[in-house]
Amino acid sequence: MVHLVPAGRQPSGADYKFGDSDIAAQRLSTVAEVFAESSRSFLSRCVPGPVGLAVDLGCGPGHSTRLIAEEVRAERVVGLDRSVTFLARAEAGDGLPVAFRRHDVTTTPFPVAGPDLLYARLLLSHLRDTASVVGRWLGALAPNGRLLLDEVDSVESEHPVARDYQRVVEAMLRENGQRLDVGRVLGAMPDPPGTVSREDHVAEVRPTSRQVGRMFALNLRVWRGDPFLVEEFGTEWLDRLQQRLDMAASGKMELPVVWTMRQMVLVV
């Protein structure tokens, strides 16, 4: 069930460049496929017992929300996102205790009170002021609550096309005051006030070349008209990169890339 409540103030820290179009939704479907196994293992390992309320921060069209509902023994699972378009796509799985609310996750209080579990996957790269945001999330937890952060530590490839694509991503995020490898920020961050315990792991994710090509090609299709990127790289260069990524997406080119994910648990 999707409940739309006022999103409130939209801070600059939540300027999401990846969009909520049909193309963006297609890309998130591939992202869900690629990271499902790693995230599933993280959830099962770090949420050993039942919880009352689990909240998926920045849930998008609901892939990660349903994953939580499948993997965690929760009485309720709620996905929060500010995109009306994505929330309209988010449907509760049959028999799963899932609901959705419209809310800017950089602001607290949340529209659901006292969550026992907060989960954020591939979200903090799109926000500024990582430590401040994490501190607000911890402050929203119920006593003995857990915050699970599933974020990019590094993306590595020797392939020149992948490296060109990474230059585009990093330039765009940097221009917006954000960074892709936010997992490294988390790893170096001191324990926020109120933290009782902390667990920190890394996990490798190795998608197929088709999956990499599809994620990258769909992203670039969303961004390629951005005035900053056009000025920084030029239309012809971006067009050539798009063609190469489309080749990888169609299976005509190998594009090996390895993600290292920072999987952190903070308990209050």
Which tens digit of pLDDT belongs to each residue from 217-227?
A: 999 999 999 99
Is 224 contained in some domain? no
Q: Look up the pTM and report it.
A: 0.92
Is 160 contained in some domain? no
Is 78 contained in some domain? yes
Q: How far is CA 216 from CA 19, 142, 170, 246, in A?
A: 14, 38, 13, 9
Secondary structure element (H or E) that encloses residue 37, with its range: helix 22-46
pLDDT of residue 119: 99
pLDDT of residue 15: 65
pLDDT of residue 25: 87
Find the mean pLDDT for residues 105-123: 97
pLDDT of residue 91: 67
Q: What's the rounded Cα separation, in Å, for the pair 245 and 162?
A: 8
Pick the range with the lowest mean pLDDT from 96-110, 198-212, 250-264: 96-110
Q: What's the rounded Cα separation, in Å, for the pair 245 and 264?
A: 32
pLDDT of residue 250: 98
Predicted confidence band of residue 3 (pLDDT cuts 50, 70, 90): very low
Is 98 contained in some domain? yes
What's the domain range around 112? 2-155+179-206+256-267
Q: What's the rounded Cα separation, in Å, for the pair 180 and 123?
A: 10
Write the CATH number for 150. Answer: 3.40.50.150
Pick the range with the lowest mean pLDDT from 24-28, 118-122, 187-191, 258-262: 24-28
Say how many domains are in the chain. Answer: 1
85 burial type by CB count under 10 A (0-12 exposed, 13-18 middle, 19+ buried): middle
pLDDT of residue 16: 65
Is 99 contained in some domain? yes
Secondary structure element (H or E) that encloses residue 66, with its range: helix 63-71
Is 125 contained in some domain? yes
Chain mean pLDDT for the chain: 92
Is 236 contained in some domain? no
pLDDT of residue 18: 77
